[in-house]
Structure 1
Amino acid sequence: MSSIKLTQAVGLGGANNLNDVKAVQTALNKLLKLIPPTQSLKIDGRLGSRPDISKTVAAIKLFQSKVLNMLRPDGRIDANGRTHRKMNEKLLSIEAMANVNTSLEMPVTKAFWMKTAVNEVGESEVAGAKANPQILEYFKASKFWGSDDSGGQNAWCGSFVAWVMKQNNFEPVKNAFRAKEWTNFGKPIYKPVYGAIGIKSRQGGGHVAFVVGQSADGNYLFMLGGNQSNSVKVSKYKKEVWDDFVVPSNFDASSTHLPIYTQKASIAGSEA
């Protein structure tokens, strides 16, 4: 679905034609990451006898609030109106990302939290005062108070790791938004394995990311992390820059290994 066409308005006070409502419900289901905690909507083309309390209208309002920054969401999508145009913009963005191979093949591993981390590849900052709602969810997981995802003061690598681990029922460390605090998580290991959390120093602070592989010569590590050139991605680092590696306390590091990484990656860049 690249975009949706509407013949008339959908939502509160709208004509709510069956096919228009179905199109909006389908689109909102494609955009669920932008409007947490919304659950998948039933695509039935109906808003019920009380549209004001329908889940579809609630999702429209949440989209208007989180994505359009409306102070008073009206729960209505006018054909070619502001909400309709922004919805199509986001749908086109998702389609563009789908055409870029951001997916990673996971090795057979007991580091089950990595499925969550891999699924986040491609999430990126929004320039200016606005923010990617998913990155704000990372902030919540680490108890970071920021409302903007860009700029050095809002570095979010630690928040990304906190969100991933919290999704898998691990309690993040205190002050998880500070990368170097992750040295206090779980237990240390002395050789990196797939899924381990790596911590390193950088100018002005630290950086934290998940290990996903090594180069054939063993001199480089490939790390999946947040805020790597302002997005969630895999980047290539010299092995010696990483100071510490940790895993959950109950994780048997001998049950996994460090594979040779042959997939897409970028050279390590900005982490602030």
Structure 2
Amino acid sequence: MITDTVGQGGRNALNDTMIVQRLLNQIDIPGAQQLVADGSPGVRTIFKIQAFQRSIGIARPDGIIAPRSKTMTELMCRANAENSVHAQLSLTNPAPTSADLGAPWIATAEREIGQKEVAGPKANPRIMEYHKAAKYWAKDDSLGVNAWCGSFVAWVMSQHGHAAPANAFRAKEWASFGTPLKAPVYGSIGIKSRSGGGHVAFAVGQSRDGKHYYMLGGNQSNEVNVSRYGADVWDAFVFPAGVAAGDTLPVYQGTASDAGSEA
């Protein structure tokens, strides 16, 4: 059960808003899109609340849900009828997941954290899989000529059915991928310049003051990790075409390293 109002003019506490978004997503409401369950009460959430209110006979939907109101009671009943297990999860586990935040590929990328280069002529077979996804002919995983940040992004996105751009092993080619963004959101792909080339990685958070972005990428100090970068070093951010992007880049709560080598 929510603790306070959610929607148009509501208090919109993060957990309450996520609970409502998840419950709404479990119900088939004609004309209403699936929501990114990120706890941000945007226009889509308010529209879907209003659509649900109309579906239960409220003549003048106000787009707000209060605890123990008719809207909340009906929402919980219908969501439980649709899928009782998922509804229960919505109420007991409001912590956002990468899927809730509109970027399920981040969970895939996170599982690769710790993959690193092998010094010398041998190579990490996993990194060679990244190169294969980017159609790169590299035979090694180390040294500048074998930079693999673009290959890592290509491999991650391929696991979710998104075709990489041509020459995806070249970081700057990712600027032509998908839809350009004015500002990063969770799961967006950032592209920057560096000495001798470029770098590409996934945005997973920002500092409280917005001066730093936390980027999950490959070939960051020769491994897959989350690194902290100045916000002003990034040239562009893109998001897969046809996928609804979230509205925010959350404050990063995990562990990270300061940005290091990308070659």
Question: Would the TM-score normalized by the shorter structure come out above 0.5?
Answer: yes
Q: Does 1:159 align with 2:148?
A: no
1:156-195 paired onto structure 2 within 5 Å: 156-195=148-187
- What letter corresponds to residue 154 of structure 2 in structure 1? A
Distance 1:111 1:256, change over 3 A: farther
> Match for residue 254 of structure 2?
263
> Match for residue 208 of structure 2?
216
Identity of aligned residues (%): 60
1:1-272 paired onto structure 2 within 5 Å: 106=97, 108-253=100-245, 255-272=246-263
Partners of 1:141 and 1:223 in 2: CA distance: 21
SS in 2 for 1:128: coil
Q: Deviations over 1:202-249 (max 9, x none)?
A: 000000000000001100000000000000000000000000000011
Partners of 1:183 and 1:240 in 2: CA distance: 16
Structure 2: gaps of 5 or more residues:
1-95
1:109–1:256 contact (8 Å) kept in structure 2: no
- What letter corresponds to residue 268 of structure 1 in structure 2? A
Q: Which runs of 4+ in 1 moved over 4 A?
A: none
Partners of 2:107 and 2:133 in 1: CA distance: 18
- What letter corresponds to residue 188 of structure 1 in structure 2? P
Q: How far off is 1:256 after superposition? A: 4.3
Structure 1: gaps of 5 or more residues:
1-104
Partners of 2:244 and 2:159 in 1: CA distance: 20
SS in 2 for 1:209: strand
1:144–1:177 contact (8 Å) kept in structure 2: yes
Q: How far off is 1:113 after superposition? A: 1.1
SS in 2 for 1:173: coil
- What letter corresponds to residue 197 of structure 2 in structure 1? G
SS in 2 for 1:206: strand
2:102–2:186 contact (8 Å) kept in structure 1: no
- What letter corresponds to residue 226 of structure 2 in structure 1? V
Structural RMSD (CA):
1.1
State the number of aligned residues: 167
